[in-house]
Amino acid sequence: MSDIKQTRLSGILLHPTSFPSPYGIGDLWKEAYAFIDFLEASGQHIWQTLPLTPTGFGDSPYQSFSAFAGQPLLVSPEHLLELGLLRVEDLDDCPAGSGDKVDYGYIIPWKTKILRMAAGRFEKVARTELRNEYHKFVSANLFWLQDYALYMSCKDHHDGKSWLDWEKGYRKPTASMKKRMKKQFAEELKYYYFVQFMFHKEWMALKAYANEKEVTIIGDIPLFVSLDSADVWANQGLFQLDSKGYPTSVAGVPPDYFCAEGQLWGNPLYDWKKHKKTGYKWWIARVRQQLKMCDVLRIDHFRGLESYWSVPAGEKTAINGTWVPGPREELFDAIEKELGKGLPIIAEDLGLITPEVHALREKLGFPGMKILQFAFEAEGESTYLPHQFTDINCVCYTGTHDNDTTRGWYESAKEYSRDKVRCYMNTDGGLISWDFIRACLGTVAKYAIFPLQDVLGVGSEGRMNTPGVSGEEIHNWAWRYKKEDLTEGLAKELARITRLYGR
């Protein structure tokens, strides 16, 4: 595995749902390994993903049912077939769709159906070695796995409703109630244990393969967790909730130049005083778990750990919020005490960031982020322009999952932005995404990362997410590439320019 702290590296941002697959959504089997081979052939040493946790509302990886569990939709049907847990005919009715978009409305019920088939056959047909591996996994992960499985079982029992709409005993279960629930949902628990076992088995094998190829994996966690999650349900005392479980204050960001009403995210806020009393036990467990899954961890909305925007529950906008101090370095002192010094963390420090946030990031030694698209959105100087980079301890991106693809951005940009790009990069804009990749590689930033969409020169149809916009016509989180897109010639050209810039 490459040492991300010492080496000048580059790599590709790609979520596993975007892998090719005949089963309607990317998974962690053959094409995932083919992508690692492409990274090796193209001279790339970083693979960055979005959060790998189970998606909830809107299929967003940033709104999850658990901060610890893995995404069931990524489990490979082909692998289950090889293990004898599925039959060929079980896969005949797969709603594969067009292949270039994930249709979650069709794929979720189908994937759930075949996972339940496989789970039902597991105890009967699985080899002893695999069953022993399963029992070891359950035992080692019970600290989060049991609450997650109980939560999902209860959610199924209540027709998918949020835990706030469950019957009273289930909403805030006592120890004795949880004991009864384990008996009530015994078969359901086995299903959720099995799915998590398969996800982790496949992911850890893929991670090992990537590390053998000297590819470092950067994972991602959102700062806040979803209200409709096992994390909040099982740890209600660690969040700002009333006696019935409803948030008293919620997360968001204040009004700014881009949004006059601010952004009201609605996530419950942490009760940091309670976390401190526990020695930040939940956060330590969360970071430890995610650093088993990846080599480096990006914390989304890092600024909220210095100070967060607290909006009273019930507000229609984020206007009437206030800044409240976060745990700051005290949290990371506690994590380092348990996990060791020099945490491999990247801080997402985009937006209107105060000097205090910069000071905290620098004190902790975490790399920040630079987005090249942002450099050309105004006519004058910008700290995102490569010649303004003063700190090599940063990650330079052409764009992220929340940006349009570079080609899409350029094609819809104002003329002064397009002219600024052409002058700055000495280009006619004909292969604009590769102009941005070269500029990204050529910065002093230690780490240069670009979405696969930019490597492929994809337009706006390849955009992964449009923040604040939902609906079927947008197709957030749905983009996929095709197997034939990753050509030998493409790998050779990317490897050539990567070597040119000393990556």
* SS3 of residue 296 by DSSP: strand
User: In the numeric block, which tokens belong to residue 273?
Assistant: 């005083």
Residue 166 lies in a domain: no
pLDDT band at residue 70 under the 50/70/90 scheme: very high
Q: CA 424 to CA 413: how far, in whole Å?
A: 15
Does 488 qualify as catalytic in the annotation?
A: no
Residue 42 lies in a domain: no
pLDDT tens digit string along 278-321?
A: 999 999 999 999 999 999 999 999 999 999 999 999 999 999 99
Compute the average pLDDT of residues 80-104.
Answer: 90
Does 3 qualify as catalytic in the annotation?
A: no
Number of C-beta neighbours around residue 263 at 10 A: 19
Residue 45 lies in a domain: no
Average pLDDT, the chain: 95
pLDDT at position 6 is 53
Residue 101 lies in a domain: no
Q: How many domains does the chain fold into?
A: 1
pLDDT at position 95 is 84
Q: CA 420 to CA 90: how far, in whole Å?
A: 55
Range of the domain at 327: 235-366
DSSP letter for each residue of 210-251: HHHTT-EEEEEEESS--SSSHHHHHTGGGB-B-TTS-BSEEE
Residue 332 lies in a domain: yes
Residue 322 lies in a domain: yes
Which residue out of 300, 349, 435, 454 is catalytically annotated?
Answer: 300
* SS3 of residue 500 by DSSP: helix
pLDDT at position 258 is 62
pLDDT tens digit string along 376-432?
A: 998 889 999 999 999 899 999 999 999 999 999 999 999 999 999 999 999 999 999
pLDDT at position 97 is 64
Question: Whats the size of the chain, residue-wise?
Answer: 503
* SS3 of residue 251 by DSSP: strand
pLDDT band at residue 470 under the 50/70/90 scheme: low
Compute the average pLDDT of residues 77-104.
Answer: 91
Q: How far is CA 414 from CA 339, 401, 410, 419, 466, in A?
A: 47, 21, 8, 9, 19
Which residue out of 100, 156, 338, 402 is catalytically annotated?
Answer: 402
pLDDT tens digit string along 322-379?
A: 999 999 999 999 999 999 999 999 999 998 899 999 999 999 999 999 999 999 998 8
Residue 311 lies in a domain: yes
pLDDT at position 1 is 43
Q: Does residue 275 carry a pLDDT above 50? A: yes
Which residue out of 147, 295, 348, 349 is catalytically annotated?
Answer: 348
Residue 346 lies in a domain: yes
Q: Does residue 458 carry a pLDDT above 50? A: yes
Q: Does residue 134 carry a pLDDT above 90? A: yes
pLDDT band at residue 100 under the 50/70/90 scheme: confident
Residue carrying structure tokens 């470092």: 216
Q: How far is CA 48 from CA 235, 239, 255, 261, 346, in A?
A: 30, 30, 30, 32, 11
Compute the average pLDDT of residues 449-471.
Answer: 91
Does 411 qualify as catalytic in the annotation?
A: no
Q: Does residue 114 carry a pLDDT above 60? A: yes
DSSP letter for each residue of 379-414: SS--TTSGGG---SSEEEES--TTSPPHHHHHHHS-
Q: Does residue 475 carry a pLDDT above 90? A: no
Compute the average pLDDT of residues 113-130.
Answer: 96
Q: Does residue 5 carry a pLDDT above 60? A: no
DSSP letter for each residue of 147-165: HHHHHHHHHHHTTT--GGG
